[in-house]
Every structure is written in C-alpha cells, then in structure tokens.
Amino acid sequence: MKRPEGIKTDIEMKQYSWFRSGGLSRYFSRPKSIAEMIDVIRWARSESHEISLLGLGANMLFPDEYFDGLVLQTTKLKSTMLKSNENFQFFNESEIDVSAGVQLERLVNSLNSQGLAGLENLAGIPGTIGGSVWGNAGAGHGSISEQVVAVQCIDSNCELRWISADEFEWSYRYSGIGDHIICAVRFRVEPNSDPVRLQESSRDLKAYKESVQPYEQKSTGCIFRNPESGPGAGQLIDNAGLKGWTVGGAKISELHGNFIVNESNATTADVLELVHTIEEKIFSQTGIRLDREVILACQEKSR
Ligand SMILES: Cc1cc2nc3c(=O)[nH]c(=O)nc-3n(C[C@H](O)[C@H](O)[C@H](O)COP(=O)(O)OP(=O)(O)OC[C@H]3O[C@@H](n4cnc5c(N)ncnc54)[C@H](O)[C@@H]3O)c2cc1C
C-alpha cells in the first residue's frame, strides 16, 4: 500500500510533549479528517508499524530512543461541518458531538459562554477531548466520563462506529477504551444555564489549580494516580521528603509532589529514574505501591 501524503519522517517528538523530552519518531501524521486518519491507520497496519496516538501530550512521555513507528496526532482533526471558530455541533438540544482533537479548555469556554452546563468543572486541564476521555480526566469535582454519552471510535478492523458509554468500564483516571482510536465524543449538556455562573465557576477552579500545580512549567502532569484511600500521591511524596529531588534536568516539583518538572534539558530517562526512586521510597516507607498515571508512549502501549 502506498504511503498516504502528509506523513512526515524522522520528527523530533520533544516539541509535541508537554514535558519537552523524547527522541525521533520514524513517522508522524496529523490528519485533518476521519477519512484521512483511517487511510493513515490502514497504511500503518498494512506495514506492521506500531501506532502511538497523541493528543496534546499533556500526560505522555516519549522515549529518548528512536521510535520506529508512527505517531498519530489528533489536534487537527475536526468535523468538516464546523466553522473554524466552532468547537462542537448539537446532536440534539441536550447532547453535543465534539471531535477528538478539540482542546478541552476551548470546549469548556465555548459551552460556558453559550450557557451549556456539564463540563465547567474541568476547566484548567490541558489536553484534547480524545486524550481526556481516554484517560477519564477529572479533578476534585468529578470526571469527564460523567458527561459522556457515546464515543466514536476506529476499531481494530478500521471500522468507524459509535459505542455507548455504558459499554466501557470507567473508573478513576481510566476509561477501558484501550486500543480503540477515539475520533469524536458525544457529551450530555444542560441547556439554559447561566453563562456568568459557569464562567465564574471555571475561572475560580482554574485559578485554584494554577496556585497548587506547576502549570506554567514544562511538566509531566500527575505522575501517579491517587491511592483509593488515605493521603494522595502528592502528599505521600511530600511526606517522604522527596520534593525538590532531581535527576539530570528533571525535578520533583516543590509546588506539588506528584509533578516532575523539566528544569533544564531533562530526558525521559531522567524522569523514569525519579519515578523509580519515588516508587521504591514510598513502598519501603508505607507499603503502598503507587500506580502510574502518566503514559510512556510507544513502549508500554501500542495499537
Ligand atoms: C499542568 C498539568 C495539569 C494537569 N492537571 C490535570 C488534572 O487536573 N486532571 C487530570 O485528569 N489530568 C491532568 N493533567 C494531565 C492531562 O492534562 C490529562 O491527562 C489530559 O486529559 C491529557 O490529554 P492529552 O490530549 O494531552 O493526551 P495525551 O497526553 O496526548 O495522551 C494521553 C493518552 O491518551 C491517548 N490518546 C490521546 N488521544 C487519543 C485518541 N484520540 N484516541 C485514543 N487514545 C488517545 C494517548 O495514546 C495516551 O495514552 C495535567 C497535565 C498537566 C501538564
């Protein structure tokens, strides 16, 4: 099968990760439509290339080594029915369809200004709709899955279909979507809500997040999921006296122990060494095995 146009080669992945680390990827594609995306996936599968899905890279680390596969980024994926300034379309008066590549922050702002409630508590989470639904993003006030009605996916046979949200096993920072590639998501929204109230609520939450997380720095996002009970991962790391620890250019954030920040040309290997140190120290001090939230692309997971 001929390689579809627009697939770039030997692309540096650093620029696409929020943390700014990682090596080269053999192939890189950013399709603008679902049809283009299916073509690229068919080609990659026909050539047995490993595929790594990428949204905004806010919860992903790329290996420092060469990745001999295809990175498929969704940020240009948008419904052809929409104008450039539109982020969603109505399915009915209380349900909307959103392309996987739309940024969550932009969607929240659009919904708030149109008085559509439901996602306002997710303000301040960097990422695309695809990445956020795949990882069931959320904050203290709930998770994105609470508003998901259905997910449009490309399955392992390259078939495009809507799957009801009930068919996935949602839990804390987990969707069960696994190997399916998310193209769009249908959300439940509450019309006729007060735009000013929604905007204020999002603004306050975002301001709070920015005061307790290293939002302006290059970071990994949360490294570990919080344990089901007891102190959160950040608190455990703080209690273990690990805040401020560094390996190479990577440092455990002084602001929030569950974030690693890139102080100066950090590599993914630096982050992984810190992650292992945290895991060992927390286990030896508390008997708790922390569960990783951040995804190491192309090694632990492929499609
Ligand atoms: C400063 C900061 C603050 C953060 N705060 C929060 C927070 O409060 N709550 C929270 O939940 N998270 C938080 N995160 C983590 C991150 O914002 C979320 O996980 C976000 O949803 C990631 O979206 P993304 O598009 O960047 O996904 P990526 O990091 O690009 O990808 C994440 C995973 O999703 C998969 N994926 C991406 N797109 C698709 C697709 N279309 N189909 C199938 N799989 C796909 C990827 O393969 C990867 O496994 C924070 C991160 C940072 C840097």
Q: pLDDT per residue over 163-209, tens digit each?
A: 999 999 999 999 999 989 999 999 999 999 999 999 999 999 999 99
Residues of the chain with CATH 3.30.43.10: 8-73
Cα 239 to chain centroid, rounded:
28
Assigned CATH for 89-197: 3.30.465.10
Distance 129 CA to ligand 1 centre (A): 9
Q: For residue 301, what pLDDT is reported? A: 42
Whether ligand 1 lies within 6 angstroms of the CB of 19 is answered as no
Whether ligand 1 lies within 6 angstroms of the CB of 181 is answered as yes
- What digits encode the pLDDT tens for the residues 227-242? 999 999 999 999 999 9
Distance 2 CA to ligand 1 centre (A): 32
Residues of the chain with CATH 3.30.465.10: 89-197
Residue ranges with strand state E in the chain: 8-12, 24-29, 51-54, 60-61, 67-73, 89-92, 95-99, 138-139, 142-143, 148-154, 160-164, 181-188, 219-222, 246-247, 250-252, 259-262, 295-296
Of 125, 182, 183, 212, the one to substitute when testing ligand 1's pocket (max ligand atoms within 8 A of C-beta) is 125
Residues of the chain with CATH 3.90.78.10: 214-296
Is the torsion defined by CA of 241, 244, 249, 255 positive or negative?
positive
Whether ligand 1 lies within 6 angstroms of the CB of 208 is answered as no
In this prediction, residues 76-99 reach a mean pLDDT of: 87
Is the CATH number 3.90.78.10 carried by domain 214-296?
Answer: yes
- Catalytic residues, by residue number, are 173, 222, 293
Q: Which two tokens stand for residue 44?
A: 């990659």
Whether ligand 1 lies within 6 angstroms of the CB of 139 is answered as yes
Distance 105 CA to ligand 1 centre (A): 12
- At the second CATH level, the architecture of 8-73 is 2-Layer Sandwich (3.30)
Q: What percent of the chain has pLDDT above 90?
A: 88
Start-to-end CA distance of the chain, whole Å, equals: 19
Whether ligand 1 lies within 6 angstroms of the CB of 215 is answered as yes
Give the integer Cα–Cα distance in Å for 153 and 235: 37
In this prediction, residues 70-89 reach a mean pLDDT of: 86
